[in-house]
Amino acid sequence: MMKNVVEVRDLVVVRGSREVLPGISLDVPAGVTGLLGPSGCGKTTLMRCLVGAQQVRSGTVEVLGEPAGSAPLRTRIGYVTQAASVYDDLTVAENLRFFARVLGVEPAQADEAIASVDLASHRDQVVARLSGGQRSRVSLAVALLGKPDLLVLDEPTVGLDPVLRRDLWELFHRIADAGAAVLVSSHVMDEAERCHRLLLMREGRIIADGSPDEIRERTGATDIEQAFLHLVETQPSGEGDAA
Protein backbone atom coordinates (compact mmCIF):
# COMPACT_ATOMS: atom_id res chain seq x y z
CA MET A 1 0.00 0.00 0.00
CA MET A 2 1.26 3.48 -0.86
CA LYS A 3 2.57 5.53 2.06
CA ASN A 4 0.63 8.72 2.73
CA VAL A 5 2.44 11.92 1.83
CA VAL A 6 -0.24 14.12 3.43
CA GLU A 7 -2.27 13.34 6.56
CA VAL A 8 -5.04 15.70 7.64
CA ARG A 9 -6.98 15.08 10.84
CA ASP A 10 -10.05 16.98 12.10
CA LEU A 11 -9.09 20.16 10.23
CA VAL A 12 -11.24 23.19 11.02
CA VAL A 13 -10.88 26.52 9.21
CA VAL A 14 -13.11 29.43 10.20
CA ARG A 15 -13.56 32.79 8.48
CA GLY A 16 -15.57 35.27 10.49
CA SER A 17 -18.42 33.23 11.93
CA ARG A 18 -18.43 30.65 9.14
CA GLU A 19 -16.75 27.25 9.12
CA VAL A 20 -15.09 26.86 5.74
CA LEU A 21 -13.67 23.43 6.57
CA PRO A 22 -15.74 21.79 9.33
CA GLY A 23 -13.33 19.24 10.76
CA ILE A 24 -12.27 17.16 7.77
CA SER A 25 -9.79 14.29 7.65
CA LEU A 26 -8.05 12.85 4.60
CA ASP A 27 -4.89 11.21 3.31
CA VAL A 28 -2.97 11.87 0.11
CA PRO A 29 -0.73 8.98 -1.04
CA ALA A 30 2.00 8.99 -3.65
CA GLY A 31 0.81 9.17 -7.25
CA VAL A 32 -1.68 11.59 -8.79
CA THR A 33 -4.60 12.55 -6.55
CA GLY A 34 -7.46 14.62 -7.90
CA LEU A 35 -9.31 17.03 -5.60
CA LEU A 36 -12.59 17.54 -7.41
CA GLY A 37 -15.62 19.61 -6.62
CA PRO A 38 -17.56 22.68 -7.74
CA SER A 39 -16.12 26.18 -7.43
CA GLY A 40 -16.45 27.43 -3.86
CA CYS A 41 -16.39 24.00 -2.21
CA GLY A 42 -13.18 24.61 -0.22
CA LYS A 43 -10.51 23.16 -2.52
CA THR A 44 -8.28 26.24 -2.46
CA THR A 45 -8.60 26.64 1.31
CA LEU A 46 -7.57 23.03 1.82
CA MET A 47 -4.57 23.40 -0.48
CA ARG A 48 -3.49 26.55 1.37
CA CYS A 49 -3.58 24.53 4.58
CA LEU A 50 -1.28 21.89 3.07
CA VAL A 51 1.39 24.45 2.15
CA GLY A 52 1.10 26.34 5.44
CA ALA A 53 -0.45 29.48 3.95
CA GLN A 54 -3.80 29.26 5.76
CA GLN A 55 -4.59 29.96 9.40
CA VAL A 56 -6.49 27.04 10.94
CA ARG A 57 -8.75 26.89 13.99
CA SER A 58 -7.90 23.33 15.01
CA GLY A 59 -6.78 19.95 13.75
CA THR A 60 -3.47 18.73 12.36
CA VAL A 61 -1.90 18.76 8.91
CA GLU A 62 1.26 16.74 8.32
CA VAL A 63 3.14 16.75 5.02
CA LEU A 64 6.05 14.37 4.44
CA GLY A 65 6.11 13.69 8.16
CA GLU A 66 6.41 17.37 9.13
CA PRO A 67 3.83 19.93 10.29
CA ALA A 68 2.49 21.88 7.31
CA GLY A 69 4.35 25.14 6.77
CA SER A 70 7.47 24.10 8.70
CA ALA A 71 10.90 25.12 7.45
CA PRO A 72 12.04 21.64 6.27
CA LEU A 73 9.18 21.59 3.75
CA ARG A 74 10.00 24.83 1.96
CA THR A 75 12.10 23.19 -0.73
CA ARG A 76 10.12 19.93 -0.81
CA ILE A 77 6.75 21.31 -1.94
CA GLY A 78 5.90 22.96 -5.24
CA TYR A 79 2.73 25.08 -5.15
CA VAL A 80 0.87 26.61 -8.08
CA THR A 81 -1.99 28.99 -7.30
CA GLN A 82 -4.83 29.85 -9.67
CA ALA A 83 -3.26 33.25 -10.31
CA ALA A 84 0.16 33.25 -11.94
CA SER A 85 2.83 33.97 -9.30
CA VAL A 86 5.75 35.16 -11.41
CA TYR A 87 7.21 38.54 -12.37
CA ASP A 88 5.49 40.10 -15.38
CA ASP A 89 8.42 42.37 -16.25
CA LEU A 90 10.92 39.51 -16.55
CA THR A 91 11.25 36.99 -19.36
CA VAL A 92 10.36 33.36 -18.85
CA ALA A 93 14.05 32.43 -18.57
CA GLU A 94 14.80 35.31 -16.20
CA ASN A 95 11.96 34.24 -13.91
CA LEU A 96 13.20 30.67 -13.80
CA ARG A 97 16.81 31.66 -13.21
CA PHE A 98 15.76 34.02 -10.41
CA PHE A 99 13.70 31.38 -8.59
CA ALA A 100 16.41 28.77 -9.14
CA ARG A 101 18.85 31.04 -7.28
CA VAL A 102 16.32 31.61 -4.47
CA LEU A 103 15.84 27.86 -4.08
CA GLY A 104 19.53 27.11 -4.42
CA VAL A 105 19.15 24.68 -7.33
CA GLU A 106 21.39 24.25 -10.34
CA PRO A 107 20.76 26.73 -13.21
CA ALA A 108 20.34 23.79 -15.59
CA GLN A 109 17.10 22.92 -13.79
CA ALA A 110 15.62 26.19 -15.01
CA ASP A 111 16.06 25.08 -18.63
CA GLU A 112 14.67 21.63 -17.83
CA ALA A 113 11.59 23.13 -16.19
CA ILE A 114 10.95 25.48 -19.13
CA ALA A 115 11.18 22.58 -21.56
CA SER A 116 8.93 20.36 -19.45
CA VAL A 117 6.03 22.81 -19.72
CA ASP A 118 6.62 23.36 -23.45
CA LEU A 119 7.77 26.97 -23.23
CA ALA A 120 11.24 26.67 -24.78
CA SER A 121 10.15 28.72 -27.80
CA HIS A 122 8.97 31.52 -25.46
CA ARG A 123 11.90 31.51 -23.05
CA ASP A 124 13.01 35.03 -24.03
CA GLN A 125 9.55 36.62 -24.02
CA VAL A 126 8.46 38.96 -21.24
CA VAL A 127 5.82 37.21 -19.15
CA ALA A 128 3.38 40.15 -19.42
CA ARG A 129 3.13 39.49 -23.16
CA LEU A 130 2.22 35.83 -22.80
CA SER A 131 -1.29 34.40 -22.90
CA GLY A 132 -3.01 33.46 -19.65
CA GLY A 133 -2.32 29.77 -20.23
CA GLN A 134 1.34 30.42 -20.94
CA ARG A 135 1.70 32.52 -17.79
CA SER A 136 0.19 29.67 -15.78
CA ARG A 137 2.75 27.32 -17.27
CA VAL A 138 5.57 29.64 -16.18
CA SER A 139 4.27 29.33 -12.61
CA LEU A 140 4.18 25.56 -13.01
CA ALA A 141 7.77 25.56 -14.26
CA VAL A 142 8.83 27.48 -11.14
CA ALA A 143 7.05 24.92 -8.95
CA LEU A 144 9.01 22.12 -10.64
CA LEU A 145 12.37 23.61 -9.64
CA GLY A 146 14.16 21.48 -7.10
CA LYS A 147 12.16 18.38 -8.06
CA PRO A 148 9.66 18.66 -5.16
CA ASP A 149 8.37 15.61 -3.31
CA LEU A 150 4.84 17.06 -3.32
CA LEU A 151 3.34 19.18 -6.08
CA VAL A 152 0.16 21.08 -5.13
CA LEU A 153 -1.65 22.44 -8.18
CA ASP A 154 -4.77 24.60 -7.84
CA GLU A 155 -6.78 24.20 -11.07
CA PRO A 156 -3.69 24.25 -13.33
CA THR A 157 -5.54 23.29 -16.53
CA VAL A 158 -8.35 25.87 -16.43
CA GLY A 159 -8.57 27.77 -19.73
CA LEU A 160 -6.06 25.58 -21.56
CA ASP A 161 -6.73 23.94 -24.90
CA PRO A 162 -7.33 20.16 -25.00
CA VAL A 163 -3.89 19.33 -26.41
CA LEU A 164 -2.06 21.29 -23.72
CA ARG A 165 -4.30 19.82 -21.02
CA ARG A 166 -3.41 16.34 -22.24
CA ASP A 167 0.30 17.17 -22.29
CA LEU A 168 0.21 18.60 -18.77
CA TRP A 169 -1.55 15.54 -17.38
CA GLU A 170 1.12 13.38 -19.00
CA LEU A 171 3.70 15.56 -17.24
CA PHE A 172 1.92 15.14 -13.89
CA HIS A 173 2.05 11.37 -14.32
CA ARG A 174 5.75 11.44 -15.23
CA ILE A 175 6.42 13.43 -12.04
CA ALA A 176 4.43 10.91 -10.02
CA ASP A 177 6.17 7.98 -11.70
CA ALA A 178 9.47 9.50 -10.58
CA GLY A 179 8.31 9.21 -6.96
CA ALA A 180 6.55 12.47 -6.14
CA ALA A 181 2.98 12.99 -5.02
CA VAL A 182 0.82 15.29 -7.16
CA LEU A 183 -2.39 16.85 -5.83
CA VAL A 184 -4.43 18.51 -8.58
CA SER A 185 -7.65 20.39 -7.95
CA SER A 186 -10.29 20.79 -10.62
CA HIS A 187 -14.00 21.45 -11.03
CA VAL A 188 -13.96 19.62 -14.39
CA MET A 189 -15.20 16.12 -13.64
CA ASP A 190 -13.87 14.52 -16.83
CA GLU A 191 -10.34 15.07 -15.51
CA ALA A 192 -11.08 12.54 -12.77
CA GLU A 193 -10.22 9.62 -15.02
CA ARG A 194 -6.64 10.90 -15.26
CA CYS A 195 -6.05 10.42 -11.51
CA HIS A 196 -4.95 7.41 -9.48
CA ARG A 197 -7.06 8.52 -6.55
CA LEU A 198 -9.91 10.99 -6.07
CA LEU A 199 -11.14 13.18 -3.27
CA LEU A 200 -14.62 14.49 -4.08
CA MET A 201 -15.46 17.63 -2.13
CA ARG A 202 -18.65 19.56 -1.46
CA GLU A 203 -19.33 22.44 0.94
CA GLY A 204 -16.04 21.94 2.76
CA ARG A 205 -16.49 18.20 3.25
CA ILE A 206 -14.91 15.16 1.61
CA ILE A 207 -17.85 13.11 0.33
CA ALA A 208 -15.85 10.36 -1.40
CA ASP A 209 -12.28 9.07 -1.33
CA GLY A 210 -10.97 6.30 -3.57
CA SER A 211 -9.89 5.36 -7.07
CA PRO A 212 -12.19 6.33 -9.97
CA ASP A 213 -13.21 2.68 -10.34
CA GLU A 214 -13.99 2.35 -6.62
CA ILE A 215 -16.14 5.47 -6.59
CA ARG A 216 -18.05 4.47 -9.71
CA GLU A 217 -18.64 0.97 -8.33
CA ARG A 218 -19.73 2.31 -4.94
CA THR A 219 -22.33 4.62 -6.50
CA GLY A 220 -23.34 2.47 -9.46
CA ALA A 221 -22.52 5.34 -11.81
CA THR A 222 -20.98 5.14 -15.26
CA ASP A 223 -18.78 8.23 -14.80
CA ILE A 224 -17.48 10.44 -11.99
CA GLU A 225 -19.89 13.28 -12.70
CA GLN A 226 -22.85 10.94 -12.23
CA ALA A 227 -21.17 9.52 -9.13
CA PHE A 228 -20.75 13.01 -7.68
CA LEU A 229 -24.39 13.89 -8.35
CA HIS A 230 -25.49 10.63 -6.74
CA LEU A 231 -23.45 11.40 -3.64
CA VAL A 232 -24.82 14.94 -3.45
CA GLU A 233 -28.39 13.67 -3.69
CA THR A 234 -27.98 10.94 -1.08
CA GLN A 235 -25.89 12.72 1.56
CA PRO A 236 -26.99 15.53 3.89
CA SER A 237 -25.97 19.01 2.79
CA GLY A 238 -23.61 21.04 4.97
CA GLU A 239 -24.19 24.63 5.89
CA GLY A 240 -22.85 27.41 3.75
CA ASP A 241 -20.27 27.51 1.01
CA ALA A 242 -16.51 27.34 1.16
CA ALA A 243 -13.77 29.12 -0.71
What tens digit of pLDDT does each residue of 13-50 get?
A: 998 888 999 999 999 999 999 999 998 899 999 999 99
Order the strands of the 66-67 sheet from edge to edge: 18-29, 4-15, 58-63, 66-67
Residue 209 pLDDT more than 50?
yes
| pLDDT (0 to 100) of residue 167 | 87
Q: What is the pLDDT of residues 64-74, one digit of tens each?
A: 999 999 999 98
| pLDDT (0 to 100) of residue 1 | 40
Three-state DSSP at 199 gives: strand
Rounded CA-CA distance 52/43 in Å is 14
| pLDDT (0 to 100) of residue 243 | 54
Residue 238 pLDDT more than 80?
no
Assign domain 6-76+150-234 to a CATH class: alpha beta
Q: What is the pLDDT of residues 217-234, one digit of tens each?
A: 999 999 999 999 999 998
Three-state DSSP at 156 gives: coil
Q: Across the chain, what does the average pLDDT equal?
A: 91
| pLDDT (0 to 100) of residue 239 | 44
Q: What is the pLDDT of residues 176-197, one digit of tens each?
A: 998 999 999 998 888 999 999 9
Q: What are phi and psi of 9, to 5 degrees?
A: -130, 120
